[in-house]
Structure 1
């Protein structure tokens, strides 16, 4: 969908008005993608990241497409289903590489001696650099902003890319933005920002396609949220095989139960309760909600109007024209 200059300027104003808050100073466009301004300070470090080992694992995705679900699955498989060690916060176990760009707390740390965010949040690059290879990292970076070793193929860590249909993604992203990113606008405005490629990590399809086009590379596994909902045990086996790990039927059954929506929702190590409480304690956000909402396919039907569904469908059809990519 092409916006006019006036519409573009209006959307920029909406973005600033509803996202320029206590940990977001503004937005920049980097290689065609909308990113928080803080990312400019991190971009060179990430591009020159010394990817040490082909045994490293990177979990990449557009936000709210099943990333946390995949993180927990991958960590459990790599760590022999260690449920005891798995009680540690997921942010420590599978750190989010560019997290400090999303939640920029530098001013709060400087002005408030009692403000003490966890290390993986305060300086995510520093924390990730402190880990010994092989590491397991999470990122929402599009392919063009990944480290040069990965883009050039001089190092080939295992990359698991997870995606989801855009309508459900948008609804989940809206809830996330209200809960954790201080978004103060309406759902209608959020949909406009999503389709126009103004939100962090958008445009959506341009994020997906470069990974999709590389899906046949031996070090890349492409997974869809809808596949996980439909047949989680099969996806678990695919991921385990990709990670070169053998799982017994009993282990697959255990992990299927561990990764069920009911189990994940009450698991404090993965559902970001700690971060939600931290933000509320320091008056960074005040929206009452849950990090994990429905865990279903088709959740947009209860939130999106028929008009928005029609717009998203037309936009999707336009981008998938001539592509082998399917939403199913």
Structure 2
């Protein structure tokens, strides 16, 4: 087991991770710059740190399960003039996930299962992104916090457009729990998962260390900060804001077409964005033992049906501790 810290509570969290959140494609955890990451990230971090950043790429940055896929599809469509035909290709090809190979390390499994063929955008994501970059500007996804982004971004040597999307942490936790069970093999209970979330012991956590550095930079000209709740409340307004930020303004008719395309029901039924391909692959090879779908409800306030009052109180106190005086979440 990979021990992240030495005090007794951290050791308990490490035991939960080892017992409930390791698998044939997840072999342990490390901390890098205070961030919890799958052990495989150790092999990728220097290449990412030294990444040759292109200023005409657009980076979609987020903590997991905060509206990333929704934002990716919106941005790709705007960047590509609402190319519905081109948008039938899998989103993982069109808007690659930079560090996904750290989440799904299939190397050993492939040696024993010669017919197993994971999608190329997962199998070796860094090489895939390099290959896609040859074709022109990318809509690039990452869940890396500011501290783990390429040094050219951190030191302002390069200033690509960055769109950061976030969501209230209670709904994020619910969605991340379901995602972790369905996509990443988490086998534990929801109560332990909430404890891991609050303690910053899940991949890409701590949550506030992820959100706040982008919030502090929200007025930089190359950064657009979005909230999931605002997207739900008035999607056409957010589409216009994103289009203006990308310097690709849309007509009213185009906004209406894209709003329909991005509706939750449309996204849930769209095989190019709903990740059913990856879910089916994991089930075929018995890597995941969980029912469900990648896109579940998309509702604001969904946590109320799942979290106990005691856990809600802990989340509210934790949120107040980190955001007092900030106009971030209600």
Q: Structures share a fold, TM > 0.5?
A: yes
Note if 1:307 corresponds to 2:330: no
Q: Distance in 2 between matches of 1:68 and 1:134?
A: 18
**TM-score, with normalisation over the residues of structure 1?**
0.97
Could you list the structure 1 runs, at least 4 aligned residues long, displaced by more than 3 angstroms after superposition. Answer: none
Give how far 1:115 is off. 0.7
Give how far 1:285 is off. 0.3
Give how far 1:305 is off. 0.7
- Provide closer, same or farther for how the CA distance between residues 12 and 325 of structure 1 changes in structure 2, counting only shifts above 3 A: farther
Q: Distance in 2 between matches of 1:96 and 1:23?
A: 17
Task: Give runs of aligned pairs for residues 99-114 of structure 1, distance below 5 A.
Answer: 99-114=100-115
Taking only aligned residues, the RMSD between alpha carbons, in angstroms, comes to 1.1
Task: Give runs of aligned pairs for residues 212-291 of structure 1, distance below 5 A.
Answer: 212-291=215-294
Q: Distance in 2 between matches of 1:135 and 1:86?
A: 14
Deviations 1:8-40 (A, max 9, x none): 211110011111111101000000000000001
Give how far 1:48 is off. 0.5
Give how far 1:268 is off. 0.7
**TM-score, with normalisation over the residues of structure 2?**
0.96
Partner secondary structure for residue 59 of structure 2: strand
Note if 1:16 corresponds to 2:42: no
Task: Give runs of aligned pairs for residues 7-46 of structure 1, distance below 5 A.
Answer: 7-46=9-48
Deviations 1:118-173 (A, max 9, x none): 11011001100112241111000000100011111111110000000000000000
Partner secondary structure for residue 226 of structure 2: strand
Partner secondary structure for residue 303 of structure 2: helix
Residue 6 of structure 1, aligned match among 8, 24, 37:
8
- Count, aligned residues: 324
Q: Distance in 2 between matches of 1:72 and 1:279?
A: 23
Q: Distance in 1 between matches of 2:119 and 2:327?
A: 39
Note if 1:198 corresponds to 2:201: yes
**Number of the residue aligned with 2:57:** 56
**Number of the residue aligned with 2:117:** 116
Give how far 1:325 is off. 3.7
Q: Distance in 1 between matches of 2:239 and 2:126?
A: 29
Q: Distance in 2 between matches of 1:271 and 1:326?
A: 29
Task: Give runs of aligned pairs for residues 140-155 of structure 1, distance below 5 A.
Answer: 140-155=143-158
**Number of the residue aligned with 2:84:** 83
Deviations 1:97-118 (A, max 9, x none): 0000001101111221101111
**Number of the residue aligned with 2:172:** 169
Partner secondary structure for residue 116 of structure 1: coil
**Number of the residue aligned with 1:324:** 326
Q: Distance in 1 between matches of 2:319 and 2:326?
A: 13
Give how far 1:4 is off. 9.6
Partner secondary structure for residue 64 of structure 1: coil
Partner secondary structure for residue 130 of structure 1: helix
Give how far 1:5 is off. 2.4
Q: Distance in 2 between matches of 1:29 and 1:118?
A: 27
Q: Distance in 2 between matches of 1:23 and 1:294?
A: 27
Q: Distance in 1 between matches of 2:127 and 2:274?
A: 23
